[in-house]
Amino acid sequence: MLIYRFLTGEDDSAFCHKVTKALSEGWALHGSPQYAFDATSGLMRCGQAVTREVADQPYDPDKKLIDYR
């Protein structure tokens, strides 16, 4: 089964660390990063989709994605 997450955050090193942590946990980049200007805060925001292949099992929306193995 393939699971999906969309990571978001300010365009800063903390966002890069968030993506790097996901990659170190077995997630893979999915598509290109996205950028948008947040007019309320005046900051650029980033987003990056990541996916991970896990053992076939029933999907449970109440289960945290990090708990799928």
Rounded to whole angstroms, the Cα distance separating 25 from 33 reads 19
Tell the burial category of 21 from Cβ atoms under 10 Å away from its Cβ (0-12, 13-18, 19+).
exposed
Give the distance, in angstroms, between the CA of residue 44 and the centroid of all CA atoms in the same chain.
17
What pTM did the predictor assign?
Answer: 0.85
Instruction: Report domain extents, the chain.
Output: 2-56
E-assigned strand segments in 1-69: 2-10, 28-38, 43-53
- pLDDT tens-digit series, residues 9-64: 998 999 999 999 999 999 999 999 999 999 999 999 999 999 999 999 999 999 99
Q: In the 8-state DSSP scheme, what is residue 12? A: S
